[in-house]
Amino acid sequence: MSVDRRRFLESCSALGLTGLFPGALYAHVNDASANASPAAQETPITVEHVAAAEEIAGLSFNAEERELIAEGLNEKLQQVEALREVDLPNAVVPSSTFDPRIGGATIPDDDTPMRWTPRPVERPASDEDLAFMTVGELAYLLSTQQVTSMELTELYLRRLREHDPVLKAVITYTEDRARRQAEQADAEIAAGNWRGPLHGIPWGAKDLLAVEGYQTTWGAAPYQDQTIDETAAVVQMLDDAGAVLIAKLTLGALAWGDVWYGGETKNPWNVEQGSSGSSAGPGSAVSAGCVGFAIGSETLGSIVSPSTRNGITGHRPTYGAVPRTGAMALSWTMDKLGPMARSAEDCALVFDAIRGADPGDPASVDMPFPYQQGFDVTELRIGYLPDAFEGDYDNAAADQATLTVLRDDLGLDLQPMVLPTDMPVDAILNTLDVEAAAAFDELTRTRGVDTMVRQGENTWPNVFRTARFVPAVEHVQMSRARTVLMQRVHEVMQDVDVFVSPSYRGGTLGITNLTGHPAMCVPNAFRPLEDAPDSPRREPDSITFVGALYQDHHAIALAQAYQGVTDFHRRRPPIQ
């Protein structure tokens, strides 16, 4: 039985595939010919299939060419079937490795260590005040034994259990592990062996990071009972720094949004609203004062978006700066792990502990981090995107106020600049869809995606299916166009060390996730709700500082300087 052109076109059109050559033609035809005659099964792809496919793709072949194409495709069917027999779990990386340096950047040759000294503070009278202290402040209290790690651990565990019925930010508590770590931290500190600023600090991990002995669910129903017999490199690095893991926090299923198999994670500033994603739990828990800091991940906004929604500070590091060994892969060429915390300085302290190359992640690199406490940001060349700040948009007034603070309070000379928004960024971003579809290929083919909570348009099940129809040739062209984009952004960055942008305007989020540039997302507004202006609930918003590749310390320094003259990062949510 053959599939005629009309039926083939109708089928592809129903799936939203018009304009793409169907890379999944093989599987489609195999299904259609399952009950065909033996002769037909020997050549399931016919010239009619090829003619239908070329029409969809906007190509034109003659009869002789179609015959040859059909013959070649039938031969490749067996190769595709053989490939699908290979066991390719999510942890298997592609043989090709993305490198941001392709665009022209180099890793600086600088062995200057981070310079930071804790500022003296006194233990506050209330547990509430203690819970909202920064990592730097808690580090001083711990190092001077004004508070113990066990006290902090129990405090944060109590707060999580108190607020999680509303926030839905926790997937798994790791309290037995945490108490062992806290006990060890207290003994070491009492003996004069203080490991550094994270020693004894309780934290939470986005549940795409494997922790031996605990479930790693990726927030998705098909994996809710999954255990992975390893501990992610980042978790191990934080163990080595003496930090105390108290919980594995929620993420939107397979790193999209704030809906996971247990519900929707909520925003503490307005619990009728989700906390955005996909680092939903980290954003919510940090905002609510339930952890000292958290580790999130970003592929296309998953640190920036929940940091914005929850009114906290997020650091998306340079691609490759933090190893992803033991983390769920969504897009091998775009995934980044980074800290989410109360201040830019907190992010610096965490980043210094988790950066570096790891053998399990071929894209990870060793890079310097010469962050200097109290750095004079007037030494930096600061750019901004004037077009992105124009017009009437939700956070326009706050963003303009931020520019005023940078100019008047910090004395910075902001230089106008333009990102290459004329490039087909949306087309290049199909890289994410294709890589994600490959990462969860078996889940799609076995219909495991049907058990995920979110279904329909703009969900992973639909994206995974649709991405199967993106041609391999076009996928390679995306990669090549990405190289051009990287080169052009590198040219722009020759004139600045950091640039300022609204978090969701100017093409910044998509472009810099493709190029791998580091970003600091900091709160700059807490607007009253339009429908309830007298309510304590608020709508947080943010501004983003983007640094040059491998120059994360500059973006962090600017963010820290901004927070030094504003108080947005000190505000606490009503959790109601």
List, for residues 65-80, the tens digit of each pLDDT value.
999 999 998 888 888 8
Helix ranges restricted to H, 493-551: 508-515
Within 10 angstroms of residue 48's Cβ, the number of other Cβ atoms is 16
For the chain, the C-alpha Rg in angstroms (whole number) is: 25
The confidence band for 57, taking pLDDT boundaries of 50, 70 and 90, is confident
Catalytic residue among 149, 275, 276, 278: 278
Q: Residue range 44-53: average pLDDT?
A: 88
Q: Residue range 47-51: average pLDDT?
A: 90
Q: What does the alpha-carbon distance between residue 163 and residue 289 come to, in Å, rounded to a whole number?
A: 10
Instruction: Give the pTM.
Output: 0.93
The mean pLDDT of the chain is: 93
Q: What does the alpha-carbon distance between residue 33 and residue 49 come to, in Å, rounded to a whole number?
A: 12
To the nearest whole percent, how much of the chain has pLDDT over 70? 93
Catalytic residue among 33, 149, 206, 503: 206
Q: What angle do CA 248, 250, 256 make, to 5 degrees?
A: 135
| HSE (side-chain half, CA atoms, 13 Å) at 127 | 12
HEC readout, 122-135: CCCCCHHHHHCCCH
Q: Residue range 208-226: average pLDDT?
A: 98
The confidence band for 54, taking pLDDT boundaries of 50, 70 and 90, is confident
The confidence band for 570, taking pLDDT boundaries of 50, 70 and 90, is very high
Instruction: List Cα–Cα distances, 447 to 24, 26, 109, 442, 469, in angstroms.
Output: 16, 18, 49, 8, 17
Kindly state the tokens that stand for 343. Answer: 């201040």
Higher-scoring residue by pLDDT: 30, 47: 47
Higher-scoring residue by pLDDT: 281, 22: 281
State yes or no: is 95 an active-site residue: no
| HSE (side-chain half, CA atoms, 13 Å) at 37 | 4
Q: What does the alpha-carbon distance between residue 90 and residue 232 come to, in Å, rounded to a whole number?
A: 14
- Is the pLDDT reported for residue 175 higher than 60? yes
Dihedral over alpha carbons 38, 42, 47, 48 (to 10 degrees): 40
Strand, helix or coil for residue 11: helix
* DSSP bridge pairs for 525: 541
Predicted local confidence at residue 153, as pLDDT: 98
Paired sense of beta strands 382-384 and 498-502, if any: parallel
* Least trusted range by pLDDT, from 192-206, 305-319, 466-480: 466-480
Predicted local confidence at residue 527, as pLDDT: 98
Predicted local confidence at residue 58, as pLDDT: 83
DSSP 361: B
Q: Is the peptide bond before 95 cis (omega within 30 degrees of 0)?
A: no
* Domains of the chain, start order: 1-86 (no CATH), 101-361+375-422+475-570 (3.90.1300.10)
pLDDT for 381-390, tens place per residue?
Answer: 999 999 999 9
State yes or no: is 302 an active-site residue: yes
Predicted local confidence at residue 329, as pLDDT: 98
- Is the pLDDT reported for residue 244 higher than 50? yes
Q: Residue range 508-530: average pLDDT?
A: 98
Predicted local confidence at residue 14, as pLDDT: 40
Predicted local confidence at residue 37, as pLDDT: 52
Within 10 angstroms of residue 463's Cβ, the number of other Cβ atoms is 21
Q: What angle do CA 174, 177, 180 make, to 5 degrees?
A: 145
Q: What does the alpha-carbon distance between residue 264 and residue 267 come to, in Å, rounded to a whole number?
A: 10
Q: What does the alpha-carbon distance between residue 439 and residue 564 come to, in Å, rounded to a whole number?
A: 42
Q: Residue range 349-378: average pLDDT?
A: 98
Catalytic residue among 275, 276, 284, 302: 302
CB 369 within 8 A of CB 338: no
pLDDT for 91-108, tens place per residue?
Answer: 999 999 999 999 999 999
Instruction: List Cα–Cα distances, 180 to 79, 187, 242, 244, in angstroms.
Output: 51, 11, 11, 9
Q: Residue range 147-161: average pLDDT?
A: 98
CB 315 within 8 A of CB 518: yes
* Least trusted range by pLDDT, from 48-52, 137-141, 322-326: 48-52
State yes or no: is 143 an active-site residue: no
Q: What does the alpha-carbon distance between residue 465 and residue 85 come to, in Å, rounded to a whole number?
A: 19
